[in-house]
Structure 1
Amino acid sequence: MSDLPASPVPQGRYVPAVVVDGLVYSAGMTPRRDGRLVLTGLVGAEVDLRAAADAAGISAVNALVACADAAGGLDRIVRGVRMTVYVACADGFTALSAVADGASAVLAERLGEDALPVRAAVGVRALPGGAPVEVELIAVLR
């Protein structure tokens, strides 16, 4: 687990994550590495399904890192509770769940299959900076 990247840097006036009553809530995280988007565009137009799922995985790692940093370490996270995956997509694109599976795969790898949260996958017109996906995570702490 020590191979997690550095904590994401906020792209506006907010904090990456907060802890309240035994839960940690992440801000929406896009597929950024070192503060830069690794991919932009609409899924189903400029971005294919595989690249979108990979981007969702990067976003989920960023959300997990933000949660771990706010909580005092990844070992404090017991399980995911809820994850929302927003997908900026072209009209008619409906494989939202397949994109969100990229985020779920990362959480299963990092936390274990039994720690997966409930999930929503939502198609939207646009996301910050032209990102194809954005992930929010809520997790329970020990």
Structure 2
Amino acid sequence: MFQRTFAAAKPIAAGLRRVHTENRIKELGYVLPGVAEPKGTYRTCVRSGNMIYTAGHLPQPAGGDLIKGKIGADLTAEDGYEAAHHVALALCATLKAELGDLDKVKRIVKVVGFVNCVDGFTAQPSVINGCSDTLGKIFGERGVHARSAVGTNALPLGIPVEVECVVEVEDN
């Protein structure tokens, strides 16, 4: 079983100037995927005032196939971390589509991550760090959030991770 823990990202060093968020994404070598169409009767995100609530997002790399599998069976915790990284990029794509500019994100307030894993697997937080670390790298201190990481025995479409978030944004 996976024993190693992933080091938490240091989102931003003191004294660094704020870089335009989309430039930061490019500097990191990340590519945002297209915004996925809802798989049912819901929206990928809903804005209420200056808060955005996202639906659960799936791990699909830009230009790639949906990542599938169960952590501890056919995928490792490291594979799950990578899948959660791709979910963070999908969340950013949705926020960009909604806001037009990711600099309008004031703060990622809360992340809730679900991990499709075998019984006895207890490293869900290490898997969801793939999302949290990526958001921290992209948004700096604005990307550091409260979080829950929950294990489950199945997720839609056989995916290994699903993440939703709550985001505070600039007023219109």
Normalised by the length of structure 1, the TM-score is 0.91
1:49-88 paired onto structure 2 within 5 Å: 49-88=77-116
Decide whether the 8 Å contact of 1:24 with 1:70 is kept in 2: no
1:1-142 paired onto structure 2 within 5 Å: 1=22, 3-33=31-61, 34=63, 36-37=65-66, 39-142=67-170
Report the RMSD for the aligned CA atoms in angstroms: 1.6
Are the structure 2 counterparts of residues 122 and 65 from structure 1 closer, same or farther at C-alpha, using a change threshold of 3 Å? same
SS at match of 2:113: strand
Q: Which one-letter code corresponds to 2:119 in the other structure?
A: D
Post-superposition Cα deviations, 1:26-79, rounded to whole Å, max 9, x if no partner, equal 110010245841x21111111101110000111121122212322332111111
SS at match of 1:63: helix
Aligned equivalents of 1:19, 1:93: Cα separation in 2: 35
SS at match of 2:57: coil
Greater per-residue strand proportion: 1
Q: Which one-letter code corresponds to 2:105 in the other structure?
A: I
Q: Which has the larger radius of gyration?
A: 2
Moved over 6 A (4+): none
Post-superposition Cα deviations, 1:92-116, rounded to whole Å, max 9, x if no partner, equal 0000110011001110111113531
Unaligned runs of 5+ in 2: 1-21, 24-30
Normalised by the length of structure 2, the TM-score is 0.76
Decide whether the 8 Å contact of 1:77 with 1:141 is kept in 2: yes
Q: Which one-letter code corresponds to 2:82 in the other structure?
A: D
Query: CA shift at 1:13, angstroms?
Result: 2.2
Identity within the alignment, %? 35
